[in-house]
């Protein structure tokens, strides 16, 4: 296994700057953010401009990563592939296909995304919608030697009431995803606040895992007793439950020693990619990098390259 991180946590820095820092601090690869450039959404990172990405651009990226001894673990574009608005949905699919093209040119086998959800429909109708919409995207990727890996994030902030808005949030759905030709980008942090043992869930579904995101979660049991698992209702803000928050590995509830042991025992030999969404170690590039150092100190001793 190798340790990497998702570049989205440093949206204002260049890929060259991030790669140099990563190599100097013991990281072996990067999951490269490839959202469209949009001044209205400054929180999204665009470290890979996939529009018009050609062999010359791919050669430049490969040279950059070779210079620092790094690997592109995945191209990252996590969006709602079942978006309610058909035009928005098609725009997302178009960009996802460009991400697949870029990954193929880079010799990278994975593109990370979400299933998503049409929040105007019940889950049962969304399952049928996904079975119609997703297989052509899977086929497009497979024809180019690329696999789509889906993160199991609930994306509760996409739903007006904070309910799951990405049909990969529950281990019950992971075999269904596999039946559509999708693979799992396993992130244990989401399972923690859903009340699911991430070590047990991983052990039962390791054959579906092609990429791992390392993020932790910290819970406040007293606040959960007040708000319940679905989170605060009165005065609710998107992406804030009132009783849990994401942390860098080592500062939450995940048992990383057991989790990494399950990965090794099951023969997983891919990347473990830190996804930094820790509010304590955010607010400036310097604080974000410190959070990545904390994550590296937690996971580095457990991962034997």
CATH number at residue 54: 3.20.20.150
Q: Hey, is 247 helix, strand or coil?
A: strand
Q: What is the pLDDT of residues 26-36, one digit of tens each?
A: 999 999 999 99
Confidence band for 103, pLDDT divided at 50, 70 and 90: very high
pLDDT of residue 211: 98
Strand 71-76 to 29-33 pairing = parallel
Do 7 and 292 form a contact (C-beta atoms < 8 A)? no
SS3 content of the chain, % helix, strand, coil (to 5): 45, 15, 40
**Partners of 209 in beta bridges:** 184
The answer to whether the CB of 303 falls within 8 A of the CB of 35 is no
Of 33-42, 47-56, 224-233, least confident by mean pLDDT is: 33-42
CA gap 50, 6 in Å, rounded:
17
How do residues 203-222 score in pLDDT, each as one tens digit? 999 999 999 999 999 999 99
Q: Kindly list the distances between the CA atom of residue 27 and the CA atoms of 1, 24, 293, in Å, as whole numbers in the listed order.
A: 12, 8, 10
How high is the pLDDT of residue 39? Answer: 74
Number of domains the chain contains:
1
Provide the percentage of residues in the chain whose pLDDT is more than 90. 93
pLDDT at position 273 is 98
pLDDT band at 239 (very low <50, low <70, confident <90, very high): confident
Q: Are 72 and 108 in contact (CB under 8 A)?
A: yes
Nearest to 79 by CA among 114, 46, 50: 114
Mean of pLDDT over the chain: 96
Which of 44-53, 192-201, 229-238, 285-294 bottoms out in mean pLDDT, i.e. has the lowest? 229-238
Rg from Cα positions in the chain: 18
Higher pLDDT among residues 292 and 235, named by residue: 292
Residue 278 binned pLDDT confidence (cut-offs 50, 70, 90): very high
Task: Inform me whether the pLDDT recorded for 3 exceeds 90.
Answer: yes
d(CA 48, CA 76): 9
Whether residue 90 contacts residue 124, with contact meaning beta carbons closer than 8 Å, is answered with no
* CA–CA dist 87, 231 (Å, integer): 32
Please give the average per-residue pLDDT across 48-57, as a whole number.
96
Calpha distance 294→305 (Å, rounded): 19
Q: Taking the alpha carbons of 221, 224, 230, 235 in that order, is the dihedral positive or negative?
A: negative
Residue 125 has pLDDT above 70, yes or no: yes
- What pLDDT was estimated at residue 141? 98
pLDDT tens for each residue of 175-197: 999 999 999 999 999 999 999 99
Question: Residues with Cβ < 8 Å from 225, sequence gap 6 or more?
Answer: none
Q: Using 50, 70 and 90 to split pLDDT, how confident is the model at 237? A: confident
pLDDT higher than 70, residue 131: yes
Burial 190-202 (b: 16+ CB within 10 A, else e): bbbbbebebbebb
Domain interval for residue 221: 2-302
pLDDT of residue 267: 96
Q: Which of 22, 147, 133, 135 is nearest to 75 (CA)?
A: 147
Cα distance between residue 300 and residue 304, in whole Å: 8
Quick one: pLDDT at residue 235?
87
pLDDT at site 194: 96
Closest C-alpha among 284, 289, 225, 277 to residue 251: 277
């Amino acid at each position: 296994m190798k340790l990497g991180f998702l570049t989205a946590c440093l949206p204002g820095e260049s890929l060259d700057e991030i790669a140099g820092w990563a190599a100097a601090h013991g990281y072996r690869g990067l999951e490269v953010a490839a959202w469209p450039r949009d001044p209205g959404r400054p929180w999204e990172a665009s470290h890979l401009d996939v529009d018009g990405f050609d062999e010359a651009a791919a050669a430049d990226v490969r040279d950059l990563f070779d210079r620092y001894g790094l690997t592109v673990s995945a191209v990252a574009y996590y969006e709602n592939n079942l978006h309610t608005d058909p035009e928005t949905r098609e725009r997302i699919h178009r960009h996802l296909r460009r991400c697949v093209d870029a990954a193929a040119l880079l010799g990278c086998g994975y593109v990370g995304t979400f299933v998503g959800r049409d929040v105007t429909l019940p889950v049962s109708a969304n399952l049928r919608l996904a079975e119609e919409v997703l297989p052509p995207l899977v086929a497009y990727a497979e024809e180019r030697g690329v696999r789509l890996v889906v993160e199991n994030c609930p994306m509760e902030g996409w739903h007006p009431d904070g309910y799951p808005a990405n049909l990969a949030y529950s281990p019950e759905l992971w075999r269904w995803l596999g039946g559509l030709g999708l693979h799992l980008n396993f992130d244990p942090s989401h399972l923690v606040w859903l009340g699911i043992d991430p070590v047990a869930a991983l052990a039962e579904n390791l054959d579906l895992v092609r990429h791992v995101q390392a993020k932790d979660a910290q819970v406040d049991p007293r606040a959960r007793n007040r708000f319940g698992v679905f989170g605060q209702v009165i005065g609710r803000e998107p992406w804030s439950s009132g009783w849990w928050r994401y942390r860098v590995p080592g500062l939450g509830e995940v048992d990383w020693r057991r989790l990494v042991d399950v990965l090794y025992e099951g023969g997983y030999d891919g990347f473990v990619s830190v996804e930094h969404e820790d509010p304590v170690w955010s607010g400036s590039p310097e604080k974000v990098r410190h959070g990545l150092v904390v994550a590296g100190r937690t996971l580095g001793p457990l991962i034997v390259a």
